Amino acid sequence: MKFYDDILGLIGNTPLVRINNITRQLKIKAPIYAKMESLNPGYSVKDRIGISMIDWAEREGVLKKGGTIIEATSGNTGIGLALVAAVRGYKCIFVLTEKASTEKVRYLKGLGADIVVCPAAAKPGTPDHYVSTAKRISEETPNSFYPDQYNHPENPAAHYRTTGPEIWNDTEGKITHFVASIGTGGTISGTSRYLKEMNPDIKIIGADPYGSIFKTYKESGRVPEATPYLVEGIGQNLPVGNADLGIIDEIINITDRESFDMARQLARKEGIFSGGSAGTIFAGALKVAKDLDENSLIVFIVCDTGEHYLSKFYSDEWMKEKLLLEPQRITGSLIAQTKNADAPQNLISVGPDDTVGEALEKMNQNGVTQIPVLEDHRSVGSIRESGLLAKLLADRDLIDAKVSDVMDKSFPVLDSDASLVEIKSKLQKNPAVLIEDFKRITAIITRSDVLDIQR
C-alpha cells in the first residue's frame, strides 16, 4: 500500500513549475520557476512553520496534551497550526485583523479553530492590536503555547531545513536569483541562509508592497510611517525579529495594482491560481528578469492559493470597488451590478400605455430624471424629465396623455458584455445607455454611474 500516516506527511517537497506564456510575451530570456507552496496540504508556505513550531513546543515540554495554541496570524500560519492541532488533538485560538479574507476565516473555523478579529487600523503595541491581543489571551489561558511566528527561531529554521535544500536540489544548484516576500521574514531569511551557504553569489530579492517599511528601513535604517495597502500577509509597519534584512540584496516595492494584476495573469496565462503575495513576488521577479539572460535562473515563491481570495481580488466587483480593475474587464453588466448604493438597484421603467403623470411620479419616487419605456422587455422609447417638463409647461393637459404620445427616442441598447470604451462613447451623445441580456433590457447606465468608477 502507498499512503501517508496523516495529512502532515504532505507538507513540503513542493514542485517547481516553469513560467512559459508570460515570459514569452514579455520577451524575458531568463527562466523563471514558481515554487508551488500553494500545493501544501493547508495550501500555503506556512504549513512548514506550523509543524516545526509545534514540534519544538512538544520537544521543549511547552505544549502538553490537551493544550491550546494561540497565535496572531494573517490566516495562513493559523491554517498550518490548525492542521497539526487537528491531527494531534490540540485546541486553537487565532487572532486575525479585519483584513483577513472571509475564506481564510471560514477555513480556520472549518479546521476547528476559534477566531478573534481585531481592527486592522490598531497600532502595534496598543491593546487592540492583533499581536497584543494574542499575547494577552495566551497569558490568560492555562496550558497554552503562543508560537510568536514573528520571533520564533523555528520559523526561519523550517525554511533553512526544507525550502532552501528543495530549491537547491531541484535546480541542481543552478539558481542565481531567489525572490520572496517579507511577512514574518521566515521564508526569505531561512531559505536564503541555506542558498547563500551553498553559493554566496545567489542574489536574494525581497518584493514588498508600497506602504510597508522594509525597503526604507533596509536602505536607510530609518523606520518610516507605514501606509495601508491591500495585499495580505506581507509587509510590516515595524521591524520584525525573523526578518533578516542583511541577507537580502535588494528590496523592490510593488503596488497593489501590480500585485493583483500579476496574480490574475498567473491564473489566466499559466493556470497557477495564487494569492496576492505571489503576485507581488512575481512582479518583483519580472522586474529582476528583464535585465538577465538565459544563464540566470530565477525561483519565486507562490505563497498560497487563490481560493483564499475568491471574494477579494479574484472578484471583479471587489476590484472595481477598489478602483483596481483593468479597464478592459469593466463591462456593462459589471457597472450595472455594482452601482453606487445611492442609485436605484433595480431597473425603473414605464410602459407606453402608462400616463405621463404616472411616469413623473415614478421618477420622483426613485429620484431619477430619465427612464426607459419598455414593452415586452424591449426598449421602445424614453422619458427625460427636462424635455417632458418643457412640454408640460406648454400644455398642462399632457399630464393625462399616454407615455407613447410624448416619449423621446430610446436610449442606445448595448449587450451586457459591452466594454467601458463602447459605453463611454455612447454616453458622449446620450444621457444613458440600456444593457440587454438575452434580449431583455436588464439595466440602465447613466453618465454618473460611469463617473463613479473613474474617481
Ligand X SMILES: Cc1ncc(COP(=O)(O)O)c(C=O)c1O
At closest approach, how far in Å is the CB of 108 from ligand X? Answer: 13
Give 111: exposed, middle or buried? Use CB within 10 Å, 0-12, 13-18, 19+. Answer: middle
Closest CB to ligand X among 306 and 381? 306
Q: Which residues pair with 305 in a beta bridge?
A: 274
Closest CB to ligand X among 77 and 162? 77
149 close to 77: Cβ distance less than 8 angstroms: yes
Helix (H) or strand (E) holding 288: helix 276-289
* Residue whose CB is nearest to ligand X in the complex, by number: 233
At closest approach, how far in Å is the CB of 219 from ligand X? Answer: 19
Closest CB to ligand X among 275 and 381? 275
Of 132-140, 178-186, 369-377, 382-390, the segment contacting ligand X by CB under 6 A is: 178-186
Cell of 312: 477579494
Among 181, 259, 296, 446, the residue binding ligand X under the rule CB under 6 A is 181
Closest CB to ligand X among 301 and 383? 301
Write the binding mask 321 to 360 for ligand X: x where contact by CB under 6 A, - elsewhere. ----------------------------------------
Amino acid 77 reads T
Write the binding mask 28 to 47 for ligand X: x where contact by CB under 6 A, - elsewhere. -----------------xx-
298 close to 289: Cβ distance less than 8 angstroms: yes
At closest approach, how far in Å is the CB of 150 from ligand X? Answer: 8
Integer Cα distance of 116 and 141 in angstroms:
14
Of 136-144, 175-183, 204-212, 286-294, the segment contacting ligand X by CB under 6 A is: 175-183
Interaction of residue 209 with ligand X, rule CB under 6 A: no
The DSSP output letter for 66 is T
Integer Cα distance of 377 and 373 in angstroms:
9
Among 171, 236, 277, 416, the residue binding ligand X under the rule CB under 6 A is 277
Sign of CA dihedral 248, 249, 253, 256: negative
The active-site residue out of 35, 46, 99, 104 is: 46
At closest approach, how far in Å is the CB of 240 from ligand X? Answer: 8
Closest CB to ligand X among 231 and 435? 231
Interaction of residue 74 with ligand X, rule CB under 6 A: yes
| Contacts to ligand X from residues 223-252, by CB under 6 A | 232-234
| DSSP-derived secondary structure for 255-268 | -HHHHHHHHHHIII
The DSSP output letter for 94 is E
174 catalytic per annotation = no
At closest approach, how far in Å is the CB of 81 from ligand X? Answer: 12
At closest approach, how far in Å is the CB of 10 from ligand X? Answer: 19
At closest approach, how far in Å is the CB of 142 from ligand X? Answer: 28
Lookup result for grid cell 526544507: 162
Write the binding mask 302 to 321 for ligand X: x where contact by CB under 6 A, - elsewhere. -xx-----------------
Interaction of residue 275 with ligand X, rule CB under 6 A: yes
Closest CB to ligand X among 285 and 441? 285
State the pairing for strand pair 440-446/432-437.
antiparallel
87 close to 97: Cβ distance less than 8 angstroms: no
Closest CA to 297 of 27, 20, 23, 29: 29
308 Cα distance to chain centroid? 8
| DSSP-derived secondary structure for 300-346 | EEE-BBGGGGTTTTT-HHHHHHTT-S-GGG-BHHHHHHT--TTS-SS
242 close to 183: Cβ distance less than 8 angstroms: no
Cell of 60: 521543549
Residues near 408 by beta carbon (within 8 Å), at least 6 away in sequence: 381, 382, 383, 384, 387
Interaction of residue 82 with ligand X, rule CB under 6 A: no
Among 182, 226, 373, 444, the residue binding ligand X under the rule CB under 6 A is 182
Closest CB to ligand X among 272 and 336? 272
Closest CB to ligand X among 131 and 303? 303
Which are the catalytic amino acids? 46
Q: Which residues bind ligand X (CB under 6 A)?
A: 45-46, 74, 76-77, 181-188, 232-234, 275, 277, 303-304
